[in-house]
Amino acid sequence: MAGRPIRVVLVDDHEIVLQGLKAILARHAGDVRVVGEAVDMAAAQRVVETLDPDVVLSDVRLRGSSGLDLCRLLLERDASRRIVLLSAYDDEQYLFQALRAGAVGYLLKRVTGSELVAHLQRVVEGETVVDPTMAGRAAASAARLQRGEFWPGAHVGLTHRESEVLALAVAGLSNRAIAGRLVLGEETVKSHLRSIYRKLEVNDRAGAVAVALREGIVS
């Protein structure tokens, strides 16, 4: 791979994000070259199998699926794939889920172009990369896990924040009230709820509340 740019396929369901990433990486054309892009899991699978990139850089959230699902699918077909997930969420449980799915990187969308290139170079050299701002908290969470200190909902894949949102939903708070209690935007609360529904395999708040009570996630 020495002497040629790293070949990257981008996966994101927002055109503006794809164009932004391409523009940023174009400034580092000697180190990284975007060879393909996709907006959903099916298209990503086709593009990756056709182009055989060095790295797949995917958003964590995709329309109708997720970067985690894509990661598992690509690795089932080729265990040597290098997949880096790019996310707006700095919750360490998303990081743990990404690593369990087989990703070799978890970076936040606030990463700069030069930082992103440096991370991709480390990935092709065989390293696993984690956004530096998350490293300390992730290590602390791992230590808590070893000591058996965990939060309700972790056993079904909920992040700590999602567990908090679900508990307040069970208590009957509206999205706006949850946002106020947790000091979050209302759209962020809605995003957490959508993730909760997906993980609990339900379609709405009532279904999530029922599962939470039945499984003892929230008492």
- pLDDT surpassing 70 at residue 199: yes
- Encoding tokens for residue 13? 């369901």
pLDDT 10s digits, 108-152 = 989 999 999 999 999 999 999 988 877 666 655 555 555 545 677
Q: Which long-range contacts (CB under 8 A, 24 or more apart) does 87-94 make?
A: 87/59, 87/60, 87/61, 88/60, 89/60, 90/131, 90/133, 90/134, 91/159, 91/160, 91/161, 92/134, 92/137, 92/138, 92/141, 93/141, 93/154, 93/158, 93/159, 93/160, 93/162, 94/60, 94/159
- Secondary structure letter of residue 27 according to DSSP: T
Topology of domain 6-136 in CATH is Rossmann fold (3.40.50)
- Secondary structure letter of residue 217 according to DSSP: S
Topology of domain 154-214 in CATH is Arc Repressor Mutant, subunit A (1.10.10)
Residues 63, 219: Cα–Cα separation, whole Å: 32
CATH 3.40.50.2300 in the chain, residues?
Answer: 6-136
Provide the residue type at 30 as one letter: G
Q: What's the pLDDT score for residue 84?
A: 97
pLDDT band at residue 76 using 50, 70 and 90 as cut-offs: very high
pLDDT 10s digits, 5-35 = 999 999 999 999 999 999 999 999 999 999 9
pLDDT band at residue 217 using 50, 70 and 90 as cut-offs: confident
**Average pLDDT value for the chain:** 87
